[in-house]
Structure formats: C-alpha cells, structure tokens
Amino acid sequence: MLIDKRSQPNWTLFVFALLLSGYGLLAIYSATNSSDNPDIRDNLTSQIIWICVGLALGLVISYLSLNIVFSVAYFPYVSLVVLLAILAFVPSSNGVNRWFQVGPFHLQPSELMKPALVLALARFISDRNRSPNKLKTLFFTFLFVLLPFILVLKQPDLGTSLTYLAIVIPMLYWRGLSTFIIFAICTPIITFVASFHFWTFFVIIVLTSLILIWSKRGTLVFWVLFVLNISVGIFAPVFWNSLHEYQKQRILTFLGLISDPQGVGYQIIQSKVAIGSGGIIGKGFLHGTQTQLRFLPAQHTDFIFSVLAEEWGFIGAIVVLLTFFLFLRKAVEIGSSTKNMFAGVLIMGIMTVFAFQLFVNVGMTLGIMPVTGIPLPFISYGGSAMITNMLMVGILANKSVTLST
Amino acid sequence: MVPLEKKNIYSAALIILFAILLTKLFHLQIYEWGKYLQYSEKNRIRQVRLLPTRGLIYDRHGYVLVDNTPSYSVSVFPFEYLKNDSSQEKIADLVGVHKDIIDSKIRQSTSPFLAVRVASNISFDTLVKIQERSLELPWIIINVEPTRMYSGDIFASHLFGYLGEISRAELKSRQEYGLVQGDYVGKKGIEKFYDDELRGKAGHSYVEVDALGREVGTVQVDRETQPEPGADIYLTIDLELQKLAEKLFEKKSGGVVLLDVRTGGVLVLCSKPDYNPEIFTQKISNEIWRSLVNSPQKVLYDRMIQSEYPPGSTFKLVLAAAGLETRQCNISETTDCQGYINLGIHTFHCWNTSGHGQVDFLDAIKRSCNVYFYRMSLKVDVDDWARHSRLFGFGQPTGIDLVGESSGNVPDRAYLNAEHGENGWGKGMLFNLAIGQGELLVTPIQMAQFAMILANKGLYVQPHLLHRFYYMHLKEFRYHQPLRKQIQNISQNTWQVLQKGMIMAVNESGGTGLAASLPYVSIAGKTGTAENPHGEAHAWFIGFGPAQNPQVAICVLVENGGSGGAQAAPIAREIFDKYFEIENRKQSFTIITDDTDAKI
C-alpha cells in the first residue's frame, strides 16, 4: 500500500527545518534589502516559495511507505547520473555547466544527487548478502560514488563532489564496516599529506605500524599496508616535485590552500571581521555594517552565516548551531532506533550530508576551512538546495521509519 | 549493545565538530571582538596587490637584453571614488584622463576596495601634482610599476614581443593564474610564449584605512602573501651576431635565422623591417598603433616565422634527395643543358639562358641548373617528393617557442587534384615545384631547420630560443631540453652527396654560392632566387659551416632582393665570418660559457 496509515511523521524534524529556514529568511532579507539590483531584492520572495514547495514535497516523502522508497531507490540515482552526464558533455557558453533551465527555475542536478546517492548506496550496502568488509562491496560502493563525483568535479564544483565522498564511511560504518578497514583506508591519505615533512612522516609510519601489529591481522595484511604506506610516502613528494609550478598552483588553489585570484583571502578577512565585530549580542537586525555595506562576498548564499553572526552576535550564532545540533541529534536517534538496516544506513547518510555541509560552510566563514562553495543547509539562498534539503527532511521524518523501531 | 555503542560514536563526532566551531566562534566574537569591531566601524580594510617583478631576458652569454625600469601609475579606490562625486572631475583633470574612461574602469572593478589603475606611465609633473593633493585625496594612490627597458643594441622586436594590458578574453581563459583586470601580460613573441614563467605571482597585503581613506596601519590578520618574482630567461640568441644581422638588413626587407646545429638553439632571429620595442612601453596612441598595423611593409609581421615564400632553387635539394632515395636518379647521370626545355607547346627556361652544357648530378646542384631538375621531376613521383619535403620539416610548423608560426604549404597529388581538378595540372606544374616555385610555400625558419638537418646528416633538433630559466626564489637554473630525432629512411650516401653539392656550390668556381665563401673555413650552401609576381625575385641562401664539422646553419632571405647568389650569399658570409671570429676569441681566452645544452 502506498501510504502507511498507522502512524505520523516525525514532526520535530520539520519544526527544526522550518526554524532554520526562518533564520535564513531573516538573514537573506538583511543581506539583500539594500541592494540596488531588484532581482537580488526579489530573492526573499523566491526563497519563501522554495521553502513552501520543498515542504510540500518533503511531506509527501514523509508519508511514503518504506517499501516504496526501497523499491525505487536506484531510480533517482540513475536518472541524475544521466542528467549530469548531459551537462558534462554539452558545451556551455561560460565554461560552467551546473543547471538545467526548467521554466524560470534553474534545476541543479548535483544538489538532488546528494539524497539520490545516499538512497542508492543505502539499498546497495544494506543488502543482507553483501558484507561491508568484502573487497567487492567496497569496490562497487566506490564506483557508485566515483561516477557522480567525477561528473560534478568536472563542472567544476569541488564542494558538492566532496559532499558525495563524505557520506561513504559513515554509511558503511553503520552497516558494520570494521574500524580496521576505516583505518586502512585513511592511513595512505594521512601518509600522503605527512610525507612532505620527514619527521611527521616517520612518526606516522611508526604509529601506523604499531596499530597494525596491535590489530593482529596477520603478517600479509601488515606488510601490504606497510609497503603501501611507505611507497605513498616516497612517491608523493616525487610526484609533487615532477609537476610544473603552474600545475602545483592550480592544485593548491583548487583545494583552497592558497589564496586564489578572486581574492579569497580578502573574502575570508571580511567574513571574519563581520563575525568578530558581532560580539556577544550582535549589532542588531539590519544593523550589520559589514552586511549593509556589502563588504561580504556572496553574503546571501555561501557567506550567510557571517550575516547572522554579525547581526545577532554570539548568542544568535549559538541559537543557529544549537538548532542544527538538535536536528542532527534527532536524526541520529531515529537512525539508531530503527531495526531496518536500509532505513538506518539511509538516515545516517542523510544526517552526514547535513553535518558535512554545515561544518564546511560555517568553518569557511570562520576561516578554518577552505573556500569550496558549499551552502549552509536551509539558511543559504538557493532553490535546488532548499528543495533537496526539504526532501531529505522528508526522508528523515518518514513515518514508516519511525514505525520500524 | 553494539548499535548503542555506534550511536554514541556518531553523537560524539557531532559534538566534536560543534565544539570546534564554537571554539573558533568564541575566539572571534568574544576574545578578539574589540579588534574586529574597530575594523568594521572606524576603519576599513583594503587589499593591496604586491606586484611581482617580471623576469629579465638575457642572451646566451648573460648580456641583459630586456630589463625593468620603474614607472609611475595612478590607481583609485572605487569605494571612495563613487562616494565623492564632486572630486571626480578634478581627478580626471589631475591625471589627464577623460572622466568617462575612469568611470568605465571603475565600473569593471571586482571589488570596491581593490584599487583600479586609471593611468600608467605618468609624467613627473603629474606625479608631483597628485602628491601635493595627497592629504585631500588619500584614496588616489601612486604605484611604482616596472616597465620594460631594452638594451638598445638590438631591436629584435618580433623576438621579444611586447606587453599589454590583459584583455577580457584573456582574463576569462586564464583565471587560475591569478590575473586581474589591469595586469600586464605578454602579447607577442617570447613575452607571450613564456608569459607564465616571466610574470611571477602577485602577493597581497591588507592595510587598514580610516574613514577618509588614509592608511592607518597594516592589518594583523593572517593570509598576507609575498609576491614571487618571475623567472629570468636566458635565450640562445647571441647579442653580437644579432646586432650584426640587424645592421646588415638595415635598409632591406627579409631576415636571417642562424641555428646552432648541435643544440637547435637559435643564435640569430632577425626580421626586417621592424620597430623599436620601446614604443610599447609607453601608452601607445591609436595613431601609432594604426600606423604599425597598416604599414605597407607590415612591420608587426615576423617574416622569419609567419611569412610564407616560395623557396626557389634551394628546394632543388629536396628533389635531389627524393630522386636518390627512390632510386629514380643516380649520381652519374648527365644532361645537356641548352638553356631551355620544351614541353608540348611550352618552353621552360634555365636561369642561365645560354645553357650549362653537360651537367651531372653534383654540377646541377653546384650551378643550380633548372633543366637538370626539370628532367628529374619527370621521373620522381610528386607524392614521393612531397613525402620527402615533409620528412625535412616542410608543411608543418617547426614548433619554435614563439606564437603565430605558419606551416607553409607542400602540394601533393591530392592537393593538386583538389585545387586544379584531376586533369587540370600537368608536368609544367611539376617543373615549377622542382625549382621551388608554384604553390610550394615555406617559412625562413623551416629553411634554416632544413639547413640544420642537412648539416647534421639527418639529426633533427627542434629550433628553440629558450636556453634556460633562472628562478630567483629557488636560486635554481632549469635548462631547456629540445626534442631530438634522427630522420629515418635517408641513406648516409644521400646526405653525403647533398653536402658535397653544397660545398661545391660555395667553394668551386662556377658555383652559385661563391659569394658566401670564406678563406679560412669551408662553407656549404645553396642559393635560391624565387620569382614572385609582386616584383623583384626573393633572394635566398641556406647553408652551414664548417662543412666538415658543422656548428651553425643559416637561412638568409632578402625580400625582392634579386638573385640569391648576389644578394643573400654575401650576407651569409658576413654572419659566418662574425660567428667564427667570436668562436676563435672564445677559444683564445678559454672563456667558460654555459653551453650546457651542447653537451646533452
């Protein structure tokens, strides 16, 4: 049956999502009301419409039976991969191909891909016959993620593609991925970074070896991982030095490790000035000088948190973060109380999508994360993101998930 | 019990992430609140771009060819400019730039707090006038910017190229290189080809300014970056030889390419007429620009790499090679040259209308007998000839490190069929190609490369101008490794025969290249006189020396100069003479030079 009549969706999550969207509206109004550009001033109205549309879709999702969700789990993923591939191979006028024009609306498939990927992966890895600790499962999981990752990286949209990567380990871990494999996946990455400084590298290798010995996985596993790490350590600097100066620059700029031509350093400074000058109680709604003088770049999208923190101060920022925290805690609670493996993995994945974006976005405005263009869920201005977020709330709040406890 | 444990891990991860954010938030909003409040209320932060110094250009021995010299430019901060309507006219007046131009530059700016350059290379008077007003207009700033300064010994204008303000299209396509509006980038020549290396990387600093726009101090926030100087470039060019070449061509059109056959390094690249590169260091007026672009002599054109010419008799060497390699001819074959040959109703003349009499293969090269090669062209298939032309590098760019190189044109059967129809061309057209006329087109750099291949008996080294980079911040040289390859499928015998013919042409009486001969060293060469419908023939000479142990190969072209033997060969001789003089001087003083690429 299509609609499960036995219980109610989890309304708490919808309340939190609406609260966050409300903070967002205040910030968007503040950031756009003084603009000379009428299109920018209209953003508030558009955002309200998107919240309503998103909410309606989210409600529909929250009433669907889990069986239905399970049976169509691969469909959104496959269709969105096709759309992304079309975007990737159709030439664009300005070199950036991120959206389809659907009437007045810019549909951004990469946003919708976030829940779609989680959904498809959840079905794939929750299968009773697939152990998350088998190489085959890991390999196909990797392929699942790699496809949209590359297509979106090519757009180029590093932030969104990193979001796809971020969900993998939290989802697999819920399914039962052993800590040792997480360790095995993470060490080469750590060694790669550490290899540029000899003593750091040395300490990392010693620690890795000790953990390997302590984990008692047998000599073969030990030597394979040991040799892998040593070779990563040796070849990373060689590989790096073989690059041309401009290639290094490109990679570093791409990763946000050095300031880029558009003056990212300046953006960060302005963002920090805005946040820092807010103090404990803030400068008051519509009184943020940094915001009103439009010192802040992309202040109604990527840097929206700076607007809130400037005008509402430390207290306002804590209210926002606390709402997020409670929202995410609630998600973890629901995910961990369900006995259905598919639902559990699905909810942990969605929770990670929110948590990752929140952390990277707020971290960026505070100057501790690179500028990658990740929006703040519910609060940043943007239609595709808002609708996607509400759809994800619909999944988290789904009533048959609550029922399956 | 297990799921509970896991649940706690997820909660713990969330708590850690939120703790990190809260700590930083606390640090900014409570601990450092006072500092940031000051920045946001009393003062503002401006971004100042720290310009890198552009790399210098040296010749192979380390003489400075292109240097930097300071010049002054005026920049304006858009934020204050737009706020102070009343003083806008005054500024335009002060700087001597029309207000509309300033307005349009301000409109294009990306940030109101990033200075926009409104005038460059201002006069000392303007500089003083602006500085007198600096209290009243603190948001107008004077920047010291390096501009190019040239040694003055040589023009080499096509070689160096010039700098210009970055265009919108360039800005878009090269964003990741850290370029912004108003930056100067290479527009032509070496300056363009090696722009990324020469330019260096701009840094940023942040200064605090008060409400009037006056600087109060530097900002104690992180992310200040120092500029990184551009790499210096050492060219393979030899200043002394280049100077001589430019002098020899002072009143002529055409030019010289001299290659070191062992390294592929270009010792001389001279194209005339040219212009003084200094003119691009000032703000170039529309009149000057138009006169350069529309000049009847096309001074902006690099004749050595961009212009295509028929090669004339120099190209007989290609047919000779194709004839020997396809075994359609042999070296002992003779022809009786009457000064002409009849083909149907048409008569084709030798350049020597009274005839060369009995000539054999080597004689034909030495005396450049047309009739001998007309006959040869009847035996060698046109596709074989075209294949050999391409083998020697014709019909494709040489890949020299300059922009805008032409490919020339090597017609083959398919090309002729397409152009003239299958029956629209005949032996007459082949006769023309045999002596380097007709639809065959080459560039002088290709001819020099051909001379190098002949000198090296098939060893090809890509012609290049870059000898090495010097990275100041790394204190490190990086040497250019040119592409090298041996041309396959040409026998040693063929190379020897071609070289012998070329030696005879310069050193034996009756040779067309006698005017290139030197008493103390044996030169090998081939002349060419390329007819063209627009006036006098183009005079060519290609050659190398010393013939037995070649060091350099040359191509001389005198546009509308007349006969190659009379006009081009003497120029080649002067250049060879100078080259060997320099070599001898080097040996007698045993100066250690940086000919590292010669050892590779």
The domain ranges of chain A are: 11-403
Q: Which of B30, B35, B176 sits opposite A250 (nearest CB)?
A: B176
In a shared domain, residues B122 and B8:
no
Max mean pLDDT range (A87-96, A194-203, B207-216, B217-226): A194-203
Q: Which residues of A touch B196 (CB under 8 A)?
A: 246
* Residue-level pLDDT at B466: 95
Q: Are A387 and A209 in contact (CB under 8 A)?
A: no
Q: Are B321 and B531 in contact (CB under 8 A)?
A: no
Residue of A nearest to B202 (CA): A261
Mean pLDDT of chain A: 85
* Residue-level pLDDT at A254: 58
* Residue-level pLDDT at B507: 94
B29 touches chain A (CB under 8 A): yes
Mean pLDDT of the A330-342 span: 91
In Å, the largest CA–CA distance within chain A is 68
Q: Which of A174, A263, A362 sits opposite B114 (nearest CB)?
A: A263
Give domain status of residue B474, yes or no. no
* Residue-level pLDDT at B559: 93
Q: Are B538 and B559 in contact (CB under 8 A)?
A: yes
DSSP label at residue A3: B
d(CA B452, CA B467): 18
Mean pLDDT of the A346-370 span: 93
Q: Which residue has the higher pLDDT, B276 or A252?
A: B276
Is the per-residue pLDDT at A80 higher than 60? yes
Report the gap between the CA of A79 and the closest CA in chain B (Å). 31
Q: Which of B21, B178, B222 sits opposite A261 (nearest CB)?
A: B178
Mean pLDDT of the A258-265 span: 55
Residue of A nearest to B179 (CA): A261
In a shared domain, residues B67 and B216:
yes
In a shared domain, residues B137 and B25:
no
* Model confidence pLDDT, tens digit, residues B532-556: 888 889 999 999 989 999 999 999 9
Q: What is the DSSP string of B237-275?
A: --HHHHHHHHHHTTT-SEEEEEEETTT-BEEEEEEES--
pLDDT band for position A339 (50/70/90)? confident
* Residue-level pLDDT at B598: 44
Q: Which residues of B touch A353 (CB under 8 A)?
A: none
In a shared domain, residues B197 and B74:
yes
Q: Which residues of A touch B39 (CB under 8 A)?
A: 273, 276-277
In a shared domain, residues B112 and B138:
yes
pLDDT band for position B217 (50/70/90)? low
Helix (H, G, I), strand (E, B) or coil at B442: strand
Report the gap between the CA of B171 and the closest CA in chain A (Å). 11
Q: Which residues of B touch A270 (CB under 8 A)?
A: 45
* Residue-level pLDDT at B4: 52
Q: What percent of chain A has pLDDT over 90?
A: 45
Is the per-residue pLDDT at B157 higher than 80? yes
* Model confidence pLDDT, tens digit, residues B344-355: 888 888 888 888
* Residue-level pLDDT at A297: 66
Is the per-residue pLDDT at B329 higher than 70? yes
Residue finishing a domain among B211, B233, B255: B233
Q: What percent of chain B has pLDDT over 90?
A: 51
Helix (H, G, I), strand (E, B) or coil at B18: helix
Report the gap between the CA of A372 and the closest CA in chain B (Å). 15
In a shared domain, residues B21 and B167:
no
Mean pLDDT of chain B: 87
Are residues A279 and B33, on separate chains, in Cβ contact within 8 Å?
yes
* Residue-level pLDDT at B2: 47
Q: Are B440 and B433 in contact (CB under 8 A)?
A: yes
Identify the burial level of B389 via C-beta atoms within 10 angstroms of its C-beta, where 0-12 means exposed, 13-18 middle and 19 or more buried.
Answer: buried
H/E stretch holding A159 reads helix A158-166
Give domain status of residue B600, yes or no. no
* Residue-level pLDDT at B144: 82
Residue of B nearest to A292 (CA): B40
* Residue-level pLDDT at B593: 52
Is the per-residue pLDDT at B600 higher than 50? no
Q: Chain B 93-152, CB below 8 Å of chain A: which residues? A: 110-111, 113-114
Q: Which residues of A touch B201 (CB under 8 A)?
A: 249
Q: Which residues of A touch B32 (CB under 8 A)?
A: 276
Q: Which of A266, A279, A351 sits opposite B47 (nearest CB)?
A: A266
Q: Which residue has the higher pLDDT, B200 or A296?
A: B200
Are residues A266 and B22, on separate chains, in Cβ contact within 8 Å?
no
3-state helix, strand, coil in chain A (%, to 5): 70, 0, 25
d(CA A22, CA A108): 23
* Residue-level pLDDT at A5: 52
Domain region containing B180: 46-233
Q: Which of A278, A362, A368 sits opposite B29 (nearest CB)?
A: A278
In a shared domain, residues B85 and B180:
yes
Give domain status of residue B446, yes or no. no
* Residue-level pLDDT at B136: 79
pLDDT band for position A97 (50/70/90)? low
CATH of the domain at B124: 3.90.1310.10
Which range among A159-173, B104-118, B252-266, B485-499 shows the weakest confidence by mean pLDDT?
B104-118
Are residues A268 and B4, on separate chains, in Cβ contact within 8 Å?
no
Q: What is the DSSP string of B447-504?
A: HHHHHHHHHTTTEEE--BSEEEEEETTTTEEEE----EEEPPS--HHHHHHHHHHHHH
Q: Which of A275, A325, A329 sits opposite B28 (nearest CB)?
A: A275
Q: Are B497 and B366 in contact (CB under 8 A)?
A: no
Are residues A277 and B110, on separate chains, in Cβ contact within 8 Å?
no
Question: What does each C-alpha distance from B461 to A56, B401, B403, B458, B551 come to in angstroms?
Answer: 70, 13, 19, 10, 13
Query: Mutation test of the interface with chain B: which of A272, A290, A334, A360, choosing the one with the most B Cβ atoms within 10 A?
Result: A272
Is the per-residue pLDDT at B284 higher than 60? yes
A98-122 core/surface letters (b: 16 or more CB in 10 A; e: else): bbeeeeebebbbbbbbbbbbbbbbb
Mean pLDDT of the B116-128 span: 85
pLDDT band for position A156 (50/70/90)? confident
Which range among A273-282, B284-293, B402-411, B571-580 shows the weakest confidence by mean pLDDT?
B284-293
* Residue-level pLDDT at A393: 96
In a shared domain, residues B12 and B131:
no
Mean pLDDT of the B242-270 span: 95
* Residue-level pLDDT at A92: 59
Mean pLDDT of the A243-262 span: 60
Report which residue type is found at B148: R
Q: How many CB atoms lie within 10 A of CB B418?
A: 10
Q: Chain B 347-406, CB below 8 Å of chain A: which residues? A: none
Q: What is the DSSP string of A93-158?
A: SSS----EEETTEEE-HHHHHHHHHHHHHHHHHH-TT--TTSHHHHHHHHHHHHHHHHHHHTTT-H
pLDDT band for position B14 (50/70/90)? very high
* Residue-level pLDDT at A157: 80
Are residues B204 and A262, on separate chains, in Cβ contact within 8 Å?
no
Are residues A336 and B22, on separate chains, in Cβ contact within 8 Å?
no
d(CA A314, CA A325): 16
Q: Chain B 147-206, CB below 8 Å of chain A: which residues? A: 172, 175-180, 196-197, 201, 204, 206
In Å, the largest CA–CA distance within chain B is 112
The CA-to-CA distance between both ends of chain B, in Å, stands at 71
Q: Which of B29, B178, B196 sits opposite A275 (nearest CB)?
A: B29
* Residue-level pLDDT at B544: 96
Report the gap between the CA of B457 and the closest CA in chain A (Å). 35
* Residue-level pLDDT at B224: 66
Helix (H, G, I), strand (E, B) or coil at B435: coil
Are residues B113 and A368, on separate chains, in Cβ contact within 8 Å?
no
DSSP label at residue B534: T
Query: Mutation test of the interface with chain A: which of B5, B15, B25, B27, choosing the one with the most A Cβ atoms within 10 A?
Result: B25
Is the per-residue pLDDT at B599 higher than 70? no
Are residues B28 and A274, on separate chains, in Cβ contact within 8 Å?
no
Helix (H, G, I), strand (E, B) or coil at B5: helix
Give domain status of residue B38, yes or no. no
Report CA B600 to chain centroid distance, whole Å: 23
Give domain status of residue B506, yes or no. no
* Residue-level pLDDT at A1: 43
Residue finishing a domain among B184, B217, B233: B233
Helix (H, G, I), strand (E, B) or coil at B144: strand
Helix (H, G, I), strand (E, B) or coil at A27: helix
d(CA B360, CA B378): 17
Nearest to A74 by CA among A33, A126, A135, A29: A126
pLDDT band for position B85 (50/70/90)? confident
Give domain status of residue B73, yes or no. yes
Are residues A289 and B41, on separate chains, in Cβ contact within 8 Å?
yes
pLDDT band for position B223 (50/70/90)? low
Report CA A233 to chain centroid distance, whole Å: 29
Mean pLDDT of the B207-221 span: 65
User: How many domains are there within chain B?
Assistant: 2
Mean pLDDT of the B315-338 span: 92
* Residue-level pLDDT at A261: 46
Residue finishing a domain among B183, B211, B233: B233
Is the per-residue pLDDT at A257 higher than 80? no
Is the per-residue pLDDT at B299 higher than 60? yes
Strands B116-119 and B64-76: antiparallel
Residue of A nearest to B20 (CA): A363
Residue of A nearest to B22 (CA): A318
Question: What does each C-alpha distance from A303 to A192, A297, A328, B236, B243 come to in angstroms?
Answer: 31, 7, 21, 52, 59
Query: Mutation test of the interface with chain B: which of A241, A266, A359, choosing the one with the most B Cβ atoms within 10 A?
Result: A266
Q: Which residues of B touch A328 (CB under 8 A)?
A: 14
Is the per-residue pLDDT at A3 higher than 60? no
